[in-house]
Structure 1
Amino acid sequence: MTRYDGKVQPGGDVQIRDVGNARIHKRNVGSMGNNAYVIESKATGDALLIDAAADWPKLQQMVSWVNVVGIATTHRHQDHTGALADAVAALDVPTYAGADDADAIEQPTTTRLSDGDTIEVGDLRIDCAHLRGHTPGSIAFSFTDADGHSHLFSGDTLFPGGIGATNHYDYQSFPQLIDDVEERLFGRFDDETWVYPGHGDDTTIGTERPSLDEWRNRGW
């Protein structure tokens, strides 16, 4: 484990960040450099694994000191679900995914999520935002820590410098995704909100907000 700066490397160490009453674990796994996260309640040790993306042995090591009570998948793409079957077999916990992506995920989904749903993890309430355009059922997960700071796990909907890809599949739509990101992320979260994306470095809503019109005008 190393000091938390949000800049994790493929196959590298877990980074851990203490935020009020919660602890966030981040690790980069797999050939596509996916970020996997654990949100842990400090009060109970209960935790939610977000995106069992790849390399179950490394993810298993990351969760070995917490009590995982659920596995949440941000969206259907295989690079975000490659270790899901192994994780479910090892942990035997409920799974969560967007209602409109669940049927496209090979591992059965216990709970299908919609916009505004919540997941309880110890004393933490994880909120769900449905964001269409990258996939039909992408879900961003968020919580507010005891100090009043928001933390947003955006999957492949929002990154430093732009939104997720919308030009690879016929179900993708740039206008839909940019509208949902503007309304359901920039419209709901303040500038101090920390963003943990599905790939790459962390950012904040405030860092990205000034570029929203530029993204809309450029079309990607």
Structure 2
Amino acid sequence: MTDLNTLLVPMPRINEPAPDFTAKTTDGMRSLSDYRGKWLVLFSHPADFTPVCTTEFMAFARAADEFKALDCELLGLSIDSHYAHIAWMRAIEEKFGVEIPFPIIEDLSMKVATAFGMIHPGASDTSAVRATFIIDPEGIIRAMVYYPMSNGRSVAEFLRLLKALQTSDANKVATPEGWQPGEAVIVPPPQTAKAAKERAGEGYDTTDWYFSKKAL
């Protein structure tokens, strides 16, 4: 049965500080503050030694160097002991030849999972759903995505999203659907009627006053 207090915990929200935590991991104790100054992808999975989670962890492991090149760390979580995590990591390396290079949080108390809204009673009272949070160097949640237990995430999409967020921050622009580095970005729309009238002559690829793109 779900604890009423669990239901009363505020859900995390985009553009607000990520819930603080200190937890045991497969690399020792870790806190959110340890990642200050870097981007962080924090992701939960329902349980160790499960097939869908295994495919996701291998995908994150294979992409770890790409995340690191973007100054981004990876941190996993499930409601299992760190001994189970270590055994699972060793099994993945032995059976699939993939070494897991990032730590995994032990969350037997469900404290971290609850703070981040990873426990959805409709899915399970005792397992975290597939939640993914992109946290910026200031500790602010910039994106969060939830997947059902039955379906694996696309790690390539989180890499793409991270690149898009960093591009938006650096250039004060938005990015269109499916944007990839090197493609045109969206210029913020004018905020006044006068600026809207002038937009067509500003040198952008303008389709309408509110819709303009440019190359970086």
Structure 1-normalised TM-score?
0.26
Larger Rg over CA atoms: 2
- Give the helix-richer structure, 1 or 2: 2
Structure 2-normalised TM-score?
0.26
Which structure carries more relative contact order (alpha carbon 8 Å, separation 6+)?
Answer: 2
- Give the strand-richer structure, 1 or 2: 1
